[in-house]
Structure 1
Amino acid sequence: MLYYTDLDKRIYEMQNQIASSNNIVIVSGYVGFRPIQELCDMCKSVNITVIYGMYGSERISLPLHKALLDIQKNYPNITILYSTIPVHAKIYTWNCDDVIKRALIGSANFSVSGLMNDYKEVLSDVSDNTFDSLKDYCNYVQSKAINCNDATVKTRQQYKASVISFQVQSLLSKGICRATLLDRYGEVSRMSGLNWGLSKGHVSEGDAYIRITSNYIKLFPNLFPPKKYVGVENTQSKGKKTRENDEVELIWDDGEQMVGLLEGQQTKTIDGLVYPKQLSSSPSKSILGKYLRRRIGVDVKHTITKADLKRYGRTSIDISLIGEGIYYLDFSVNK
């Protein structure tokens, strides 16, 4: 059977359907921290092995590596491995000891981007007459992998741009988008952006978003993907039928982790495509807002001003892509 919606729920709930399964093995070209953490929470009595496949050719970004180390440290039932040979496969197996009982393969990476955006990727059941060769392949990849806490792990250092100097070419060359928290008048909007939760619309206390301008999209075409389902009805959408938001993973400079949402639509198309207009958090937009307010040092009822940001030390957030659907956000001031 072919699956293309609710892939995350299918992965998380499969264990309950296979009474004899006592271990799960996942081989994925790219991985995210949130799906691994959620699977560990849901299957605490099951041994889980996750192999990050493309480490062999791309290494791993330092922020993501730290997030995975934290998961392995905090969950005794998880082993996270990095394949030393390039592996782009996406394989999910539920096993009884060394015997596969159920398996899925397809295009969906074990990440928020791969599993939580309907119709973007697919997974399909594997017939049991293929289990032996699939097991041989997974065993081979595992034999070429190292533990995430191995001393030989090589990471990609995350470039941190100076807050003081705004060097556009330097930021462009490093793939860093410096997103301003100020509006077109050089102030913090009183009813949107950081102060969105204080507006009179359908908002909750602490709601906030980071604005994505058309200029950011033109300068960084690979950073913010175009919207899906534009002009095509999406019957599964919980909102407007012709609009779909991408869920992504966010890792901050202080190690904070959250699920993000690329939402809304730019007022004008860019090269005929529709792009998101803001970055918020999911499932609640207040997750982002309350987090930023804690860092700035103000409460949820306070109207953030430019003076507040100046006192904190910066008026922008640096955004870069460090993995499939995984963003690194730098709001640090000690540089």
Structure 2
Amino acid sequence: MRDLASALLSWDRFAVASVVAVRGSAPRPVGAAMAVGPSGEVIGSVSGGCVEAEVYDLACQVLSTSEPVLASFGYSDDTAFAVGLTCGGSLDVLVQRDSPALRAALSASVAGHPLSVRFEAEGRVFTESWMPPPRLLVFGAIDHAAAVAEIARFLGYHVTVCDARPVFATPERFPAAHSVVVDWPHRYLASTHTDADTAVVVLTHDPKFDIPVLVEALSRPLAFVGALGSRRTHLERLDRLREAGVTETALARLRSPMGLDLGGRTPAETAVSIAAELVALRHGGTGLPLSDLTTPIHRSPPTSIHRSPARFLLAQRNSLTTSS
């Protein structure tokens, strides 16, 4: 729901449906949300299309009655086109009206505050924890950086582009970035907050920029540290980093040359390659074609690397657990 916060706050009333439980295979995870606005407009999704029409009708009902509804949807053996999940799983969806408390929580989440909110329906209590979006720090104000910033923002990152050259580091060149900083990359990184969800992407191709910032980045417990460049550049970079005192253990964390092997060449294609590696690392993916695999398509995210910025919605019976 937090992903829809800005749009929800712009409406004078709305009904929002949230996935609160998933059993088996389902196209959207727990926490996925769809909302219906005052004029019947729709944003978001709870199933990727399987049950959207039925949930829309429930949302219109809740918008009219203000009474929350908890509904279950599952696969129908009679017809694949019946209301249900043709992928074979089932899910529970909570549909509720807007309220002052919900609006206050959405406003706090937009401001970047971590919080948990409580919902109640049919004798059950739910809590949803909203964490700040993960940061992506892009060093190097080149054309590739604009493409990386755009796709990273689409994926839910809070994007900062940093470069020491003011003629290149301008907001006009990077409209998708949340902020554009003119500073030496290593100095900015040393002075800014990072955590285990922060990703660093180095695009500078210039040792006087990328070596100091990579030394700083590899000394921190970041989710991802990657650098763009050819294999020759990578080998030369490793030698320079060793000379700077970076240990082999730290060097093993450097993802360089950065990106998955997609064969792309343009800045946009390169950005897709980098984004694909970020997503694969976050969720423990292999990067292989799904058609070559027999493992489940949807898997539980790893707990040791890059926790997802998505919501975690926990259903409780007769009790309430909150976290911040």
TM-score norm. by structure 2 comes to 0.25
TM-score norm. by structure 1 comes to 0.25
Larger radius of gyration: 2
